[in-house]
Structure 1
Amino acid sequence: MSEFDLGADTYRIGKLNAFQQFHLSRKVAPIIPTLIPVFLKLKGSAKALAIAAAAGDSAESDGAPLSGDLEGLASLMQPFADGIANMPDETAEFILSTCLGAVQRKQGTAWFQVWNASQNTCMFDDLDLGVMIKLSVRVITESLGPFLRGMLTGQGTPKA
């Protein structure tokens, strides 16, 4: 389990079982190809930002990758936004509920589930969509990351 802070709260991500990972990967698979150009652009921007910071160029090291190319970012994000917009409600709800079901939030010294699967509801009134999306992306990254990296690098391909 990984722990991290998001805003003023501490969260913990548990492991999805193999079937949850399988079904989640099936549901997010259509939007993964639309994210690859975004990741590559962000990776390039982060690298450029690090080089500028190392060179002492404060104009380039304001901590906001792509801040000078919002139009470029918007054009990269459009296919992703279209994919999300065209996703059936049941698929979107499955992705969010599966991901949030793996998340716990620390309250004092105890940990509590963020999502109640049997009631299909969030257990914290202060969690907004922005936080839910960030938590879901984190779960997808941790749960499906090794699988996706293997697919993208060809390491997951069996040799004939």
Structure 2
Amino acid sequence: MEINGIEYTIGRLNAVDQFHVSRKVAPIVPKLMPIIAEVAKGDLAKAIDSIDGGKRGDLTDLQPLADSLSPLMEAFAQMPDEDVNYIIFKCLSVAKRGGAVVCRNNTIMFDDIDMTQLLPLVIATIRVNLGNFIQGLLMKASSMQKQPQ
């Protein structure tokens, strides 16, 4: 994926890290799914390009992204800092920039990374590593709710 003209690749979390990240994000899964859908459509990168590039173009087509991002940020705000940090550092540990790991030993390796790179990288890592699992859980929960009691 490209963010601010810089190419990043998203790697795979090992099974134990996938388990722990999924455990930490479980309380916010309902808030996470709309933003994962927007990332999958490429709208997050488009929003960053529009905002970061200083363009004053029509951003009305980004309303679904804004609508999904707000509840996600509220959900993150309610999580303990330790959980948010765990998610961020684990996700960034499998992201690479030009072949170099973005985060090692809970330290971000590039001084120029800010929120415009951090959030899309974390969300993309969750989508790549946990997207099918989370979607399966939501579908199973939904079908269980629809079954007659």
Flag whether TM exceeds 0.5 (same fold).
Answer: yes
1:133/1:15 CA distance change after superposition, 3 Å:
same
What's the CA shift for 1:85? 1.1
Instruction: Label 1:89 to 1:63 Cα distance change in 2 as closer, same or farther (>3 A).
Output: closer
AA at the equivalent of 1:149: Q
What is the percent sequence identity of the aligned residues? 38
The CA distance in 2 between the partners of 1:121 and 1:79, in whole Å, is 27
Deviation, structure 1 residue 35 = 3.7
The answer to whether the 8 A contact 2:8-2:97 is kept is: yes
SS at match of 2:61: coil
| Structure 2 residue identity aligned to 1:140 | I
Q: How does 1:17-28 map to 2 (within 5 A)?
A: 17-28=14-25
Which secondary structure does the structure 2 equivalent of 1:65 belong to?
helix
Corresponding residue for residue 131 of structure 2: 145
Whole-angstrom distance in 1 between the partners of 2:85 and 2:97: 20
Residues 1:127 and 2:109 aligned together: no
Q: Kindly state the Cα deviation for residue 78 of structure 1 after the two structures are TM-superposed.
A: 5.2
Amino acid at match of 2:117: V
Residue 85 of structure 1 pairs with residue 77 of structure 2: yes
Structure possessing the higher radius of gyration over alpha carbons: 1
- In structure 2, the CA distance between the partners of 1:66 and 1:102, relative to structure 1 (3 Å rule), is closer
In the TM superposition, what whole-angstrom CA distance separates every residue of 1:41-89 from its partner, at most 9, and x where no partner exists? Answer: x6xxxxxxxxxxxxxxxxxxx674354x89x93xx65543332111111
Distance 2:86 2:70 in 1: 23
Cα gap change, 1:14 to 1:87, in 2 (>3 Å): same
Of 50, 62, 65, which residue of structure 1 is paired with 2:61?
A: 65
| Equivalent position SS for 1:15 | coil
Which residue number corresponds to residue 57 of structure 1?
none
Higher share in helix: 2
TM-score (structure 2 length as normaliser): 0.70
For 1:1-160, list aligned pairs within 5 A.
4-36=1-33, 64-65=60-61, 67=63, 73=67, 79-106=71-98, 111-117=99-105, 120-154=106-140
Kindly indicate whether structure 1 or structure 2 has the higher relative contact order, using CA contacts under 8 Å at least 6 residues apart: 2
Q: Alpha-carbon deviations, 1:102-123, whole Å to 9, x = none?
A: 01101xxxx1111012xx2111
Unaligned runs of 5+ in 1: 43-61
CA distance in 2, matches of 1:38, 1:9: 21
How many pairs does the alignment contain?
124
Q: What's the C-alpha RMSD, in Å, of the aligned pairs?
A: 3.0
